[in-house]
């Protein structure tokens, strides 16, 4: 018989607060057109993107995360020293080690929480949210800070006509804490490693380091049509599974917050899922671009800040991207 005492966690977990940070520089499509042969009309029709935010040298992954975290803490009414764990999802922190989560935890005054980074691409926020829920329910942390943050401008090939216009920078954060009722549903997540080549870094770091001068810095590339088909058809199925796992239907939803990859993907998913007219759909991609792990919390923050969504609304969130990986769950908005 085990001698380990049972953990003293909460029966459930919920999102208590949300915060976002977008870099000050707004980059219109006209800037992108300086390096690719395209048009504003083509970019908008293919992606729905009109502008995106690019970070300055001072707006580092850590600095943007600290700003977003401060807003999330204030929104939740939670003090930094109450944070028991910091989870950061990012693919654009260039230090292999240490994790940027440790720096962020120190800079917000969180004391000595558990702190680690995860790499799950555009599904990273969903992965982090699921881990945070587990920590709260299991009792390892009372409050968890989950951050999705990217500086994808550092990994964008501005001469690649297929991707130069897609990516933006930013940070989104949420505080996950105890709840007396279910407020974060079961997560439907997974991966399809046979499709890992459809979104990838052009050159592995070890190959890049072994090259003599003139080699272009590694960038993110993708097979657009293959990704589009996968996202529209396969992710709609995953989204439906998340609704089923939460025990609700599309009619019960108030808000849909998909990863802000592309407006065409978003609109196609809405159609495939047959979402009712009353469901508010996040379309933050138009002015923020694709910010990978940051896109869902940034979109959530904007919907709440503008009044397009309200506290207590039931929202379906789904992220999907490189790997190919995905994560979907139903949450109650803070």
Which residue numbers are catalytic? 122, 259, 290
Contact 173, 19 (CB under 8 A): yes
Asked if residue 297 lies in contact with residue 148, where contact means CB atoms within 8 angstroms, the answer is yes
Do 163 and 156 meet the contact criterion of CB atoms below 8 Å apart? yes
How far is residue 188's CA from residue 330's CA, in Å, rounded to a whole number? 10
On the CB side of 173, how many CA atoms lie within 13 Å of its CA? 35
DSSP 58-85: TS-HHHHHHHHHHHHHHHHT--GGGEEE
| Number of neighbouring beta carbons within 10 Å of residue 119 | 15
| Helix locations, the chain, DSSP H | 29-32, 40-47, 61-76, 100-107, 124-138, 205-209, 224-229, 235-246, 263-273, 285-288, 295-306
Q: Angle of helix 263-273 relative to helix 235-246, nearest 10 degrees? A: 50
């Amino acid at each position: 018989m085990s001698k380990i005492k049972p953990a003293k966690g909460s029966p459930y977990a919920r999102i208590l607060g949300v915060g976002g940070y977008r870099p000050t520089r707004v980059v219109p499509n006209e800037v992108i057109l300086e390096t690719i042969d395209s048009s504003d009309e083509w970019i908008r029709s293919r992606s729905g993107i009109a502008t995106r935010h690019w970070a300055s040298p001072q707006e580092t992954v850590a600095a943007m995360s600290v700003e977003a975290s401060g807003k999330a803490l204030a929104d939740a009414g939670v003090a930094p020293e109450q944070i028991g764990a910091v989870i950061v999802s990012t693919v654009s922190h260039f230090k292999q080690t240490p994790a940027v989560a440790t720096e962020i935890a120190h800079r917000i005054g969180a004391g000595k929480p558990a702190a680690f980074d995860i790499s799950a691409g555009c599904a990273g926020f969903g992965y982090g949210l699921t881990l945070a829920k587990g920590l709260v329910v299991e009792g390892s942390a009372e409050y968890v800070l989950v951050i999705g943050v990217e500086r994808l401008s550092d990994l964008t090939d501005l001469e690649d006509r297929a991707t130069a216009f897609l990516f933006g920078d930013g940070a989104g954060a949420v505080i996950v804490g105890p709840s007396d009722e279910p407020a974060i549903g079961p997560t439907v997540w997974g991966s399809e490693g046979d499709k890992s080549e459809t979104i990838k870094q052009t050159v592995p770091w070890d190959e890049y380091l072994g090259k003599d001068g003139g080699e272009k810095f590694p960038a993110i590339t993708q097979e657009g049509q293959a990704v589009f088909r996968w996202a529209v058809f396969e992710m709609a199925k995953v989204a439906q599974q998340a609704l089923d796992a939460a025990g609700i239907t599309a009619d019960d939803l108030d808000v849909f917050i998909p990863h802000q990859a592309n407006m065409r993907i978003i609109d196609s998913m809405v159609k495939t899922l047959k979402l009712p007219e009353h469901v508010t759909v996040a379309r933050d991609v138009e002015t923020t671009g694709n910010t990978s792990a940051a896109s869902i919390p940034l979109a959530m923050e904007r919907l709440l800040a503008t009044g397009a969504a309200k506290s207590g609304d039931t929202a379906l969130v789904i992220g999907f991207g490189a790997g190919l990986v995905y994560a979907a769950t139903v949450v109650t908005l803070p």
